[in-house]
Amino acid sequence: MKKVLSVVLALVMCLGLFSACSQDESQSQSQAETGATFAIAGLKGPTTMGMVKLMDDAEKNNADSAYTGNKYNVSMYGTANEVMPLLIQGRLDVAALPANVAATLYRKTEGEVQIAAVNTLGVLYMVQTGDSVQTIADLKGKTIYTTGKGTTPEYTLRYILQENGIDPDKDVTIEYKSEATEVGSLLAAADGDMIAMLPQPYVTAVMAQNENIKIALDMTEEWSKVSDEDLVTGVLVARKSFIEENKAAFDKFLEDYAASTQYVNENVEAAAELVAKYEIIAKRPLAQKAIPMCNITYVSGQEMKDMVGSYLNVLFDRNPESVGGSIPDEAFYYMG
């Protein structure tokens, strides 16, 4: 009798485990089918340009009452400083941010954010209204107008200058403005020799406004001359709790995001229409010129981890505070 009872109990336990597993699978499947609502932030530039197909599709899906998949609500901001508190407060779920800002945020929140993908590589260019700059060495003694203090532009510029024997605190004057549009306006109105470092698509936009503005240096090329690591400009960050609560939906979002970046790179003319539609660049012809120069990409998994980790190490070696004071640990990376 005891033997029979043991068998019965074992069967009951197996059935219970099977039921629990089936319930988990059912919940996961249900989540994937019903989706989740995402509050997403992008900066007005290449990181959001890669999202335009996703944004356009989301508009149609969000308006369809019968649609049960993920709903994406994307907002654009001028600076990373506007985005960070909203992410910390839980008012945003996902954001496209500079890689070093993501690392700083990871430490500040004690591990409550993760990065899931690299979305842009080097997008910075040194431009001028004269002809005084042909090499990095020519920047010595000059005033450089730029943006992004405390983020990728500042650390990229400082690193390249230092590696070329130029002290960024003594040998040049760096004037930081709050947004790229402010630097662009100064350039467009310049009637003398002016030097500025800007990201795409602003470079294309200001060159269209003032025929005297020309590209002096591609900062991605200059970075490659002094470093073996990739210049990582932007990454995709998400709140860890949001990922855990919506894993199937989040993985579907990453698929949609990757497809959007691929569409933008492979369908430049159509993507330019969307970039203009969302007023990232006001005019389609300018957007069409800018897209190929924006290094829009999608890199995830181990390749993303290796790429970001190497880049953050370069920054940390020069200034630990540029990445929040320490190199993020393994939990910083969402590996799927």
Sequence-separated (6 or more) residues with CB below 8 Å from residue 327:
103, 309, 312, 313, 316
Question: Where is 297: in which H helix or E strand?
Answer: strand 296-299
Do residue 236 and residue 300 come from a single domain? Answer: yes
- Quote the tokens at residue 37: 């609502």
Do residue 136 and residue 63 come from a single domain? Answer: no
Total-model pTM: 0.81
Identify whether the C-beta of residue 257 lies closer than 8 Å to the C-beta of residue 236. yes
Distance CA(31)–CA(86), nearest Å, equals: 25
Identify whether the C-beta of residue 251 lies closer than 8 Å to the C-beta of residue 242. no
- Single-letter residue type at 250: F
Do residue 115 and residue 81 come from a single domain? Answer: yes
Q: What is the pLDDT along the chain (336 residues), one digit of tens a residue?
A: 444 444 433 433 443 433 444 444 444 444 445 689 999 999 888 889 999 999 999 999 988 878 889 999 999 998 888 999 999 999 999 999 999 999 999 999 999 999 999 999 988 999 998 889 999 999 999 999 998 888 778 889 999 999 999 999 999 999 999 888 888 888 888 878 899 999 888 888 888 888 888 999 999 999 999 998 889 989 999 999 999 999 999 999 999 999 999 999 999 999 999 999 999 988 899 999 999 999 999 999 999 999 999 999 988 988 898 899 999 999 999 998
Identify whether the C-beta of residue 123 lies closer than 8 Å to the C-beta of residue 294. yes
| Phi, psi angle pair for 198, to nearest 5° | -135, 155
Among 149, 160, 109, 210, smallest CA distance to 318 is for: 160
Give the CATH number of the domain where residue 215 resides: 3.40.190.10
Distance CA(119)–CA(7), nearest Å, equals: 55
Query: What residues make up the domain containing 89?
Result: 35-121+231-332
Question: Where is 84: in which H helix or E strand?
Answer: helix 80-88
With tokens 């591609």, the residue in question is 218
Q: How far is CA 50 from CA 45, 55, 104, 321, in A?
A: 9, 10, 24, 29
Do residue 187 and residue 274 come from a single domain? Answer: no
- Single-letter residue type at 67: Y
Distance CA(180)–CA(318), nearest Å, equals: 25
Identify whether the C-beta of residue 111 lies closer than 8 Å to the C-beta of residue 237. no
Distance CA(209)–CA(33), nearest Å, equals: 48
Q: How many domains does the chain have?
A: 3
Do residue 103 and residue 235 come from a single domain? Answer: yes
